[in-house]
Amino acid sequence: MLGASFALIVNIMIAALFAASFIFVALTNPAGRRALWFAASYMLGMLAPVSLFVIPFSPWPNFFGALNYVGFCAGLFLMTGSLARFYDRGPRWSVVGGLYCAALSSGAMIAEWPQNNLAFNLVYQTPYAFACACSGWIILLASRRGALEIALAGLYGLIAAHFLVKPFFAAAFGVGRTPSEYVASSYAIASQSATGVLLIAAGLLTLLIVAQKAIAEARRAAETDQLTGLLNRRGFDLACASRLASAKAGRDPTTVVLLDLDHFKRVNDRFGHAVGDDVLRYFAALLRLTTPEGALAGRMGGEEFVVFLHGAPLARGRRVAETIRRAAALHVTPRLPPITVSIGVAEIAADETFSHAMRRADEALYRAKTLGRNRVCIARAKRARSIPLPNE
């Protein structure tokens, strides 16, 4: 009895810690609100060890025995729905609810059967196994699937198999005929310990996946301009650094295009900042439509934007810039004022830093502004470094 109680107390504490951990992730990261579903799953599942722990001290052992089954089933099926929600695959709560009701019906059907019967244990454990198998299958169907997801899916498969094997061990070692006898049995210690270890491992993997996603989304938010959805300056610089290094290693041509909306201050002064924000959002959408696949687009601040073209020589960069300029000048959006854009284009030399290429593009952009705006100017070629002569 003491061993089973100890295992149950450990399971209760672990379930409570997981629920608290998921709540903490959800409350400290706005993008991680879905973690609350995992917290709810562990809180419902916690009913199972709490009910079993109470049985020896309660005058209603059968009630708490039933509550153990109801709570554990609820936790496992809610975990299935929580994973589907986390991986953007629904869930269809009507299906989850229907499966849960079917599990409760099967539990009610065997309520009067003796617990040490093999048939009882097979019917009793099958809903648990089915819910875990569904959880593993949902993870395998996820579009984003890394090593942690594959490990978690395999672990849920193992948990499902362990629930299907347990009835045979129960029949071999004996579980007693009633909930009270089950809690007092040596089998209860082994059963609760094995299930607890497997579910702790699943909880840890799930928590790692949720935390990993929360960190990735926080990083994405820090590197994204909230108004336009494009990369901000920090995000653009970080993304360009790796691509530029790859381009230089492969000796691929790269071009940077610097863009500035003409007379944008007049738009804000005449139409208001709300319309100005709409113009910026519209131009960002225009960049997404007019830049080639694989291009990086970012907002450098204010009305200034930038495009990085990997694998594009200067001539192609100029064509892309002209496409953007013409699209901006010919836009047909009645609710927004007409806009034009001035553009500077620079091809990044093999021995040139990105910041130096940006300065040359900025000089070309300035020329486009002074020449009357609404035009594309090409940056002057990078000046070669002078080499001092001997004895000079």
Q: Which residues are catalytic?
A: 303
Backbone angles phi, psi at 357, to 5 degrees: -65, -35
Question: Tokens 């129960």 map to which residue?
Answer: 170
Whole-angstrom distance, CA of residue 116 vs CA of residue 19: 33
The alpha helices in the chain, defined as continuous H runs, are 2-28, 35-45, 47-54, 61-86, 93-109, 118-140, 147-173, 179-184, 186-222, 233-249, 264-271, 273-290, 314-329, 354-370
Q: Cβ–Cβ contacts within 10 Å for residue 139, how many?
A: 27
Burial class (CB within 10 angstroms; exposed 0-12, middle 13-18, buried 19+) of 47: buried
List the one residue out of 22, 7, 76 whose CA is nearest residue 209. Answer: 22
Backbone angles phi, psi at 386, to 5 degrees: -75, 140
Radius of gyration of the chain (CA): 31
List the one residue out of 286, 372, 270, 371 whose CA is nearest residue 327. Answer: 286
DSSP per-residue string spanning 7-24: HHHHHHHHHHHHHHHHHH
Report CA 141 to chain centroid distance, whole Å: 15
